Each structure stands twice: as structure tokens, then as C-alpha cells.
A and B are shown apart, each in its own frame.
Chain A
Amino acid sequence: MKRRMVICTYSIVVLASLIFGFEPGVEMGKNLLTFTIHMMKVLPFAFILIGLFDVWVPRKTIEEKLGKEAGIKAHLTAIALAAPLAGGLYVSLPAAALLYEKGASLDVVLTFLGASTLVRIPMMIFEASFMGIKFTIVRLAVSLPLVILSSFVLSKLIGEA
């Protein structure tokens, strides 16, 4: 209900801006269009991959490789799974939710989420070309261990998700 009201109000603002020529409102509508197109280039494919993963990878495999007993190896697997991902949190969050549903432990899911924002290979190449390779390496060397360490503490604090 609240959601519907936000969408309605937003549509009215953009429409009114178009009619009365209110520049920031029109700009906002254009931004919405740009981002919608950008996300639609990623989302359908990402969700098909999530669907395929759901059907083909058995729960047992996830429990074995990413579950409570798998230890630090599970974290490395999670990082390897996250590295080739495209898109931002809006893709890795649904993917992480699926892993959790299928029996990955919470700390592994947290590492997966962190890694999906930090070690995306396509983005890292892009980053290094603008910021220099040293910047990218230091950023990774500091953030990745912190993500793994904090995932243990965080999963204890969260309990059940």
C-alpha cells in the first residue's frame, strides 16, 4: 500500500514536470529511464542464471560446500562464486538469498555478498585502468580479509536471517 503511494506520487510529479516544463522533474524522469534500461540489460539474465542454479545444483552440494561444516574453504568457494558476477547489490542480494535458502551458512552468505561487491573481475579491470593497479590491490588486500573476519562476528550477532 505504502509502496503503491510512492509509485503514484512519483509518477504524478514526473508527469506534471513534463507538462509544466519543470526541469529537475524531467531530469529525474530521464534518470529513471536510463537506470531502468541499464538494469533490464542485467536482471532478466541474472534471474535466469539464478533459476538454472536453483534447478541444477542440489541442496546437498550447497550444504556440503557452503554449509557450516565446510569451514574456511566455504568462504573461498563463495568468493570464487561471486567474482564473475555482474551488476551491483541488486543482483547479488537475490543470489545470496538463494544460497541461504539452499543451506549455505550465514557467515558464508555474508562473505559472498561482500565479495560480490569487492572482487567483481570485470569491474576490477575497469577500476585499475582509472585508479591504477596499486590502488585496486591495496583495496582488495585490506577489504577482503575484513569481510571474511567480520562475517563470523556478524553471523553470530544476527543469529537467524
Chain B
Amino acid sequence: MKVLWATTIVLLIISFAKDKDKTLHALKTAVKRFKKLLGDFAILLIMVSVALTLLPPQKILKLLKGPGLLIGSFVAAVVGSITFIPGFISYPLAGILKEQGVPYTVLASFLTTLMMVGILTLHMESSLFNRRFAILRNITCFLIAIIVSIVIGIVFGEIP
């Protein structure tokens, strides 16, 4: 996070020193683009908060602990797709799950869908590109996540 802040500030200063007008134009573009997506961001935040209330980390922990390899991986893929959890929560959560004996296969399925598939960002993706783009990309990423979890399962000796 701090790297992002520092990079932005440094680049902004360099840009300003090089060309004042261009930099002001860049800032205007930034505001314009942000404004255009403001409604999408608001809806995203609302959906994230609803999803997190219905499926808090404790519940995810319980859901992924029980059902074993096959059903567990599937449940994990669905949960990972419909929730939106930033890395600073999801990786520690996965770490706890690992210590409680949840297979790597299930965790790979959860973490990969969490990163790649975004049901909650689907509307934003549709308005930036189009619906067909958003749906096809997410389906593909879901399939990639399943393949990743299978390979992880084989490499870690969980799938014979």
C-alpha cells in the first residue's frame, strides 16, 4: 500500500516538473474516470458488505472444513467466486484452514477463484467492457481455477 502511495506521489511530482498542463490534464482524466465508475463502486461496496455479512470468515471456515476433497473443492470454488475478500484477510484465513487440516486442493480452489472470478464485480466488468466479455471471462477463470486445484492436489499427493 505504501509503495503505491510513494510511487504515485513521486510520479506525480516528476510529471508536474516536466509539464504542468499535461499533469493537470491527467488529474482531470483521473477524476472523470473515477466519477464514471462511482455508481459501480457504490454497488460493489454494498454487495461486498452483504456477502460478508451472510458469509463471514468463520462460516467459510466451517463450510470448507467438513466435506472432504471433491465436494470441498467445489464448495470452495463457489464460495471463492461469490465473495470478495482482500488478500490481507484471505491468506491468513487460508493459513488457519491449512493448519486445521483442510486439503491444499480445496484451498487452491478457494484462493484461485477468489482472485480470478468476480461475481460481485460482474456489473462493473460489463459496463467497462460488455456483458458477453464479463460472463465468458469469468466462466473461463472458474475452469482455470478448477484445473489449478486438481494439479495442486496431484503435486501435494492428495489426489492419487
Contacts and interface: CB of A to CB of B under 8 A. Distances in A.
- State whether these chains interact: yes
Interface of A: 3, 6-7, 10, 24, 27-29, 31-32, 35-36, 38-39, 41-52, 54-56, 86, 88-90, 93-94, 96-98, 100, 110, 113-114, 117-118, 122-123, 126-127, 129-131, 134-135, 138-139, 142-143, 146-147, 150, 154, 157-158, 161
Nearest to A32: B49
Contacts of A150: 140, 144
A101 to B, nearest CB: 10
Interface residues of B, number: 70
A48 B116 contact: no
24 contacts: A6-B46, A10-B50, A24-B53, A28-B52, A31-B48, A31-B52, A39-B41, A42-B1, A48-B27, A48-B30, A54-B29, A88-B121, A89-B121, A113-B137, A114-B144, A123-B91, A126-B88, A131-B95, A131-B104, A142-B151, A150-B140, A154-B140, A157-B136, A158-B133
A143 B148 contact: yes
B89 to A, nearest CB: 10
A52 B49 contact: no
Given A48-B12, A161-B129, A161-B133, A127 B111 contact: yes
